[in-house]
Amino acid sequence: MQYRTLGRTGVQVSPLCLGAMMFGPWGNDDRADAIRIIHRALDAGINFIDTADVYSGGVSEEIVGEALAGRRDDVFLATKFFMPMDADDPNQRGGSRRWIMREVENSLRRLNTDHIDLYQVHRPSPDTDVEETLGALTDLVRQGKVRYLGSSSYSGSQIVEAQWASRSRNLERFVTEQPPYSILVRGIEEDVLPTLQRHGMGSLTYSPLSGGWLSGRWRKDAAAAPTSSARPSARFDMSSPANQRKLDIVEELALLAEQAGLTLIELAIAFVIRHPGVTSAIVGPRTMEQLESYLPAAEVVLTADVLDRIDELVAPGVTLNPDDNSYGAAELVPSARRRP
């Protein structure tokens, strides 16, 4: 596997990052099987793992910690904070110093490690000053509990604001951003990816298969909507024109993949990791079979003809269904764009 430099950190990471969201009750609740999947990924050359405190209420972090026993130094380990960890306590969430200082200790314990390589803010908060968050995170870096800082689902303007705050206040800066990116969700090409490149930041993009749309799970001849209550319904409402358009495009992409001698999954992941602004794509297998289907994409190089055809199907910078975006939501609510 060919490794890449993560932004300007000097750290070398694999083009595929193992996402651990599906390890635990949210996905695969067989701990032994989840650990086997993690070990297979490491043996295949993946040295980058991403999880979060909220995944299965901390169980994902526990599984990752158990899997890395004896192999911790071989892995660049990333986790995230911000999402609610207790629905009844409004302070067990967010980007406040109070919560960060408490929750990092919980993550360190669950991960069974004395440091986190990349500690990421899971979402931006309109109610918390970015300097509050960066100030607390800077202290964690200086204490040796965290090596690097990252953001997730930040808009271009939020990325710039955070970089400015770091420079003006002499705080540690975000060195990575984790945005959604796939053939069907290309909005970050217009602003987020160029902004990351200008600031020398790395990127670990998530959902390269667009929530299953590019895995072949939903096709025109079997377009039943998923039943999982964990998925936002607007993203998978098969009656919407945007999603009908996605179904049409998936058929074209499947044909393109076949003509190129690839699976649809390999085409989709290879597209993401070949963008010059992308460092690594997060793949989140639930089963060993899924992991094995992802691994070949790390070696795939798409030809100019294939890339041109993808651009014809989904224009650069375009997200076919706006409900697939997870950044910029606060800026688009009615109160933010209309007069009272």
Active site residues: 55
Stretch (H or E) spanning 120: strand 116-121
φ and ψ at 241, to 5 degrees? Answer: -60, -40
DSSP code string of 174-236: EEEEE-B--SSB-GGGTTHHHHHHHTT-EEEEB-TTGGGTTTTSSBTTB-PPP--TTS-GGGG
Contact 75, 41 (CB under 8 A): no
Max Cα-Cα span within the chain:
58
| CA 175 to each of CA 66, 240, 267: distance values in angstroms, whole numbers, following the listed order | 27, 37, 28
Q: What is the C-alpha separation between 173 and 151, in angstroms, rounded? A: 10
Which of the 8 DSSP states describes residue 42? H
b vs e for 149-159, b when ≥16 Cβ sit within 10 Å of the residue's Cβ? bbbbbbbbebb
